[in-house]
């Protein structure tokens, strides 16, 4: 991948996030990833698979599998909180984008 600015990296990560959350996530996955709404598979499988897709997107964009793992874990926890109705979609999306800011800051600080 070509060199990109920190802002450019954030834009790529944000675009990847929205593809993962709104294009690749099926309606079934969006509903059944929440405990009590699962009908075809246990909710934990849906949530884990969705968060893994997000982790993969981060790993591919950054080239760092460990950063992808961190995304996988944090995305899972954030969505779990939303499913428990601890916050709404706007807060959920803000937390996801805040993670992208943290990933860029980490990458800038180690380069």
DSSP 25: S
pLDDT band for 4, please (50, 70, 90 cuts).
Answer: confident
pTM score: 0.94
Helix (H) or strand (E) holding 6: helix 6-22
pLDDT digits (tens, 9 = 90+) for 28-48: 999 999 999 999 999 999 999
Question: Going by C-beta distance under 8 Å and a sequence separation of 6 or more, which residues neighbour residue 63?
Answer: 1
pLDDT band for 3, please (50, 70, 90 cuts).
Answer: confident
Q: Look at residue 2 in the predicted model and tell me its pLDDT.
A: 59
Enter the tokens of residue 52.
Answer: 């893994």
Say if CB 51 and CB 72 are below 8 A apart.
yes
Q: Look at residue 49 in the predicted model and tell me its pLDDT.
A: 97
pLDDT digits (tens, 9 = 90+) for 61-105: 999 999 999 999 999 999 999 999 999 999 999 999 999 999 999
If we measure between CA atoms, which residue out of 49, 24, 44 comes closest to residue 34? 44
- Report d(CA 84, CA 2) in Å as an integer: 40
The C-alpha angle 20, 23, 26, rounded to 5 degrees, equals 95
The domain locations on the chain are 25-105
């Amino acid at each position: 991948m070509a060199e990109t600015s920190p802002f450019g990296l954030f834009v790529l990560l944000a675009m990847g996030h929205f593809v993962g959350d709104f294009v690749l996530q099926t309606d079934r996955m969006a509903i059944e990833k929440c405990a009590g709404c699962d009908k075809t598979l246990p909710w934990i499988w849906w949530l884990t698979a969705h968060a893994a897709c997000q982790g993969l997107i981060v790993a591919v964009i950054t080239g760092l599998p460990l950063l992808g793992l961190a995304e996988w874990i944090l995305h899972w926890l954030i969505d779990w909180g939303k499913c428990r109705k601890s916050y709404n979609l706007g807060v959920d999306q803000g937390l996801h984008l805040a993670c992208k800011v943290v990933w860029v800051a980490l990458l800038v600080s180690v380069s």
